[in-house]
Amino acid sequence: MNDSDLNFALRESMERQALSAPLPDGLLAATKQRLRRRRIRDGSVGGVAAAALAVGLVFGGQAMLTGNAGASDGSIAASPGPSSEAVEPEESSPPGFEDGEELSNSVPFHNVDVVDVCLSYDDDEFVEFSIVERVDGEYMSGMWGQTTPETPNADGILTNIEYMLNDSQDSSVRMTLEEGALDEPPAEDTHTFTTADGHEGLIGVDASTQWRTLRVESGVSDVLVRIDLNADENVVSESELISWPDMLDFHADSEPCQA
Amino acid sequence: MENFDDYVRARGGALLRFAYVLCGDSHRAEDFVQEALLRCSRKWRRIENGAGPDAYVRKAILRQYLSWRRRKSAAEHVSDQIEPADRRRDASDSLGERDAIWRMLVQLPRRQRAVLVLRFYEDLPTDEIAALLGMRPATVRVHASRGLEQLRRHPDLTRDFSSVKEMT
């Protein structure tokens, strides 16, 4: 096979795979639904950065864990249920997008022994997060999404994000990242902390990419991850099946969550 | 937004295929395309009045792909057990080579893969690839060269690729 044959083979391989790929239907509707969800997030923006971020984990089919950005005391305390101080979404819809589209979904997790949460800002200044479950150290499933669009302030935002975890024994814990703690990453790029019930957490910070990584270990099972964008609307991000077998080690890298 | 709807209906399949060739996963491809379209929809009037939506949307998909891989690849497990989409039709050496190439593509670093996809699937010249990926043309050629070198060394390829001509 000569040079041009290889080029042809390469092109043909891609085209063949593209043509045989299982493509989903309803791309337009799905995109609109995603835009609708994002619009709600846009509408939930308050004056405080990340004001409406809420991450809820539901264990054993019952709402047990809710994280809610917006608190300011930097405390670690038990607190059930979603925030009741959500900001109302804006009323206007983007052109061509109707109200009343389906907003909810759910992603069941099973037999979780570790929940990883990864937060970051992307180029468009959204807060992004990833949550994955692992069983016996093996990645099982995960989800990711984006939260409130916002303009990072001079302090780097993400100053008030709370997570509350409940395990199968219904012991709950809520963690609050201390205000400003993420703005001054230590040289080793990680913070460690211990939650009220003794769970260890790890925050990885890469100042160059503004990644914020939070990992919480919890011996729970039957976990459902949910994103609460305000008190009335529970919006769940897409599930994501990726191979992530070595989560524990990535914190040792100088670039958390990064190649 | 009617034009946006028309565009998605008309070009959605092609966009999904492009994303699929990039990432090798149909679900992830859909996610990339949806996110790219969502972001483009916010400034659609400007996009459609510009050089044309295809280039803009394609760049948005590329950003999604590169960004996602950047986030996940630190711990992402790359398997050499990935099945081609249509392995049952693999009845000849030629098809076997195509599948071997595909499996190799899946394992390439994201920028090498993006360059090869843009070059061989999208048929773009080096300058356009450089503009899309935000890198110099020389860097594009380096990525292409290294990607092709990986293919050249793949043990499953039954024919002689030793004299593969690198992209110029």
pLDDT value for B21: 92
Please give the Cα distance from A30 to A24 (Å, whole number): 10
Inspect the interface and report whether the beta carbons of A249 and B75 lie closer than 8 Å.
yes
Q: Under an 8 A CB cutoff, do A31 and B37 touch?
A: yes
pLDDT one-digit tens code per residue, A203-253: 433 333 333 334 443 333 222 222 222 222 222 222 222 222 222 222 222
Q: What is the pLDDT of residue A159?
A: 28
Kindly state whether B38 is in contact with chain A, defined as any CB-CB distance less than 8 angstroms.
yes
pLDDT of residue B20: 92
pLDDT value for A40: 53
Measure the CA–CA gap between A194 and A65, rounded to whole angstroms: 17
More confident residue, B142 or A164: B142
Q: Which of B21, B41, B164 is closest, CB to CB, to A35?
A: B41
Residue A6 has pLDDT above 60, yes or no: yes
What count of other Cβ atoms lies within 10 Å of the Cβ of residue B85? 18
Say if the Cβ atoms of B97 and A9 lie within 8 Å: yes
Of A9, A30, A123, the CB nearest to B101: A9
Higher pLDDT, residue B37 or A228:
B37
3-state secondary structure of A44: coil
Q: How far is B112 from chain A (nearest CA, A)?
A: 13
Average pLDDT of every residue of chain A? 39
- What pLDDT shows up at residue A238? 26
| Option in A1, A123, A255 nearest B159 (CB) | A1
Percent of chain B with pLDDT over 90: 18
State whether residue B87 sits within 8 Å of chain A by CB: no
Confidence class for position B32, pLDDT limits 50, 70, 90: confident
In this predicted complex, what is the ipTM?
0.76
Residue B17: its pLDDT value, please? Answer: 93
Q: Is the pLDDT of residue A16 over 80?
A: yes
Cβ A229 vs Cβ A54: under 8 Å: yes
Work out the percent of chain A whose per-residue pLDDT is above 90: 0
pLDDT in tens, B109-139: 888 899 999 999 999 999 999 888 877 888 8
Chain A within 8 Å of B43 (Cβ-Cβ)? no
CB contact under 8 A, A30 and B30: yes
Residue A163 pLDDT > 50: no
Average pLDDT over residues B24-29: 83
Nearest to A257 among B2, B74, B121 (CB): B74
Cross-chain CB nearest to A9 (options B21, B34, B98): B98
CA distance B145 to chain A (A): 12
Q: What is the pLDDT of residue A36?
A: 67
B60 touching chain A per CB within 8 A? no
Report CA torsion sign: A104, A109, A115, A120: negative
pLDDT at A257 over 50: no
Indicate yes or no: CB of B85 within 8 angstroms of CB of A21. yes
Please indicate if any CB of chain B lies within 8 Å of the CB of A17. yes
Top-confidence range, A147-151, A251-255, B103-107, B111-115: B111-115
Note the pLDDT tens digit of each residue in A101-122.
Answer: 222 223 333 333 344 444 444 4
- Structure confidence at residue A176 as a pLDDT band (50, 70, 90): very low
What tens digit of pLDDT does each residue of B78-91 get?
333 334 444 433 44
| Nearest chain A residue to B41, by CA | A35
pLDDT of amino acid B158: 52
Cβ contact, residue pair B163, A5, below 8 Å: no
Cross-chain residue pair A5–B33, CB shorter than 8 Å: no
Alpha helices, DSSP H only, in chain B? 2-23, 26-41, 44-48, 53-72, 93-107, 110-116, 126-133, 137-153
- Establish, for the pair of chains A and B, how many residue pairs have beta carbons separated by less than 8 Å: 160
Tokens of A96: 């061509």
Nearest to A97 by CA among A190, A157, A147, A29: A29
- Residues A33-73 pLDDT 10s: 777 666 654 443 222 222 222 333 322 222 222 222 222 22
